Structure 1
Amino acid sequence: MNTTPSVFGAVHLGYIVIETDRFADWRRFGADAIGMHHDDVSRDVMRFRLDDHECRFLLRRGPAEDVVAIGWHVDDHASFEQIEARLRTHGVPVARGSDEEAALRGVERLLRFPGPKGITQEIHTTPVTSAEPLRMAASGFVTGDAGMGHVAITSAKPTLMRGYFNTVFDARLTDYIDETISGIKLKIRFLRVNERHHSIAIAAVQGLPIDPVRTRVQHLNIQAESLDDLARSYQRVHELGFDMALSVGQHTNDKELSYYARTPSGFEWEVGWNPLVVDESTWEPSTHQGISVWGHKPVGRTILDKLDQFRLGALSLARPEKTVPALSGAGIADD
């Protein structure tokens, strides 16, 4: 348990770093289909914007085809130093980002440290804003005090992962979902670090220490400003020939209306609209049965896709999941 004052509410999802060799496909996906603002920085670096922040998604050339880092915006220097002190107290290696690395991410005062599943975690203070008008197919995206969306991760060690985010960011449990997909029973934990219903979702196969997803993240989420934006991006994804993972539906817990497309790197991308905001004075965690009130139906899945998922789960048994024991404690008993 943390003995320092809580940083809950001072932390917000700020940016995501993706490593990919599929720049042309990502440009079409991010700008033309999803509708984000696109900037070419160099032959090996491009960025997407959602708002006045210079960078919300940094794509760098490389073979991973995956998310390699998550950047967290910390409101003030005192909270930043508090998090840094926690890391050092637990004996975790921390590294200061160079001026060039911070500039690529559009931030000041960058610090990085190890995270679960090998996803580097980064914290920063002041984001750099741009006066350049947004060139987007969408009318806008919702960011602000709640951050820019969420990250969903599958894990064979969910209590350790929850313990990690509790130790580092004082994350709070919002709720659970129990779901059965293709005969596999899942328990999904939803963690918040501010008023957004969740910034991290952790999905685990109940009773089996397997991870059925190849990529480090299962999906990323961004929040559309309007229902019209959601519908138009859904249409563009179809028209441009990108795979749709799940059709439009509404979630049981945060009531968000959304769809899931498959990115050029293989993980999924959720565009959502109008999720509820948590009222800290009244909220109590609960368990929901199933991820959706309606919709979110798999699109184009075959028996071969299902068999491949079982194969990936079996392979994960021989590939130990990376954890950060010093920050995970003994996990949190929450089942």
Structure 2
Amino acid sequence: MNTYERHDAPSVFGAVHLGYMIIETNRFADWQRFGTDAIGMHHDALSRDLMRFRLDDQECRFLLRRGPAEDVVTTGWHIDDHASFEQIEARIRAHGVPLVVGTDEEAALRGVERLLRFPGPKGITQEIYTTPVKSAEPLRMLASGFVTGDAGIGHIALTSTRPTQIRSYFNTVFDARLTDYIDETMSGLKVKIRFLRVNERHHTIAVGNARRLPIDPIRTRVQHLNVQAATLDDVAQSYQRVHEMGFGSLTVGQHTNDRELSYYARTPSGFDWEVGWNPVVVDEATWEPSTHQGISVWGHLPVGETILDKLAQFRTGALSLAHPENTVPALSGTGIADD
């Protein structure tokens, strides 16, 4: 075991679950249409400046607040027990990183208890909490259901110029484990993607980078986020709605590593939203990291992409050279051997 995978304290792996995300946007009408009529989630309007989406009996899985970012600005992590919560808190304090205790009002908006906030990579605030609040209100949604539970609500995918540091950050904070790699070539660029897990879900964090080029071609902090549909029919029906409503990004396909069958929609804020079904579940007793060639076995073809879209990505990549990426060095400075 190398230093990257070792902590003196007991591991919190398995006690950590992606619980909610906060999205900042000024496109509330478009987001309500996207979330309810296209993806099929339950919607709650809280005020002119706040709304939530539900996937299950928890009060909040996605909190949308009015603002200019047009991006995911916060990820919330459900911690199983108070001992693990306090262990994570102690790690962050030991590294000299500031922590902020969430107010009662902030916790209520997120539908949680015992809320702490601290800086994360790429400017995405990280929050941890213990007890999620359950809603007595029946779900009103087009989908039959979503898979959450011990695996959390899905995953987030980031692009980065410093992927090793991001991997180290999530290991330091959550004891994240490397599941596997994917090597791919996109628009002539060689891309490597690292897949990290914090529980039985194949991955909760994916980090992609252009090899040998310190550029980030994605404007948003998050390249995509993922939710797992309960049935194949849910994927098919939401895919049809997404395309009829003009939100299509990538067609239905199947990934090489987690075998998830999925499609991608383009959100009103510009990042992608993946709806998937039936990914593999990691067996910790037998799993060994490996490298896969190519992202997809089949499918996942671009919908309506033009040369102007490609040029915009190249411009974004060039501009990223002038803005060094913040990986929260105090939590991501562990040296590791990582391809």
- The answer for the alignment partner of 2:3 in structure 1 is none
- The answer for the alignment partner of 1:28 in structure 2 is 33
Match of 2:293 among 286, 289, 294: 289
- The answer for the alignment partner of 1:313 in structure 2 is 317
1:176 and 2:187 are equivalent in the alignment: no
Query: Aligned equivalents of 1:29 and 1:70: distance in 2?
Result: 20
Q: Alpha-carbon deviation of 1:331?
A: 4.4
Match of 1:70 among 63, 72, 75: 75
SS at match of 2:309: helix
Conserved? CA contact 1:160–1:332, under 8 Å: no
- The aligned length equals 334
1:79 and 2:84 are equivalent in the alignment: yes
1:46 and 2:51 are equivalent in the alignment: yes
Match of 1:104 among 86, 104, 109: 109
Residue 67 of structure 2 aligns to which amino acid in structure 1?
G
Residue 136 of structure 2 aligns to which amino acid in structure 1?
A
**What's the TM-score, normalizing by structure 2?**
0.98
- The answer for the alignment partner of 1:160 in structure 2 is 165
1:218 and 2:223 are equivalent in the alignment: yes
SS at match of 1:333: coil
Q: Where does structure 2 lack aligned partners over 5 or more consecutive residues?
A: 1-5
Query: Aligned equivalents of 1:305 and 1:2: distance in 2?
Result: 44
1:330 and 2:334 are equivalent in the alignment: yes
Q: Where does structure 1 lack aligned partners over 5 or more consecutive residues?
A: none
Q: Alpha-carbon deviation of 1:298?
A: 1.0
Query: Aligned equivalents of 1:59 and 1:302: distance in 2?
Result: 30
Q: Alpha-carbon deviation of 1:333?
A: 2.1
Match of 2:245 among 240, 246, 267: 240
Query: Aligned equivalents of 2:288 and 2:7: distance in 1?
Result: 21
The 4+ residue runs of structure 1 with deviation greater than 3 A are none
Residue 132 of structure 1 aligns to which amino acid in structure 2?
E
Residue 301 of structure 1 aligns to which amino acid in structure 2?
E
1:60 and 2:83 are equivalent in the alignment: no
Deviations 1:232-265 (A, max 9, x none): 00000111222x1110000000000000010000
SS at match of 1:4: coil
1:204 and 2:209 are equivalent in the alignment: yes
Conserved? CA contact 1:246–1:259, under 8 Å: yes
Match of 1:17 among 2, 22, 25: 22
Residue 68 of structure 1 aligns to which amino acid in structure 2?
V
Query: Aligned equivalents of 1:201 and 1:332: distance in 2?
Result: 18
SS at match of 2:97: coil
Q: Alpha-carbon deviation of 1:322?
A: 1.2
1:273 and 2:277 are equivalent in the alignment: yes
Deviations 1:155-204 (A, max 9, x none): 00000000000000000000000011111111000000000000000000
Residue 303 of structure 1 aligns to which amino acid in structure 2?
I
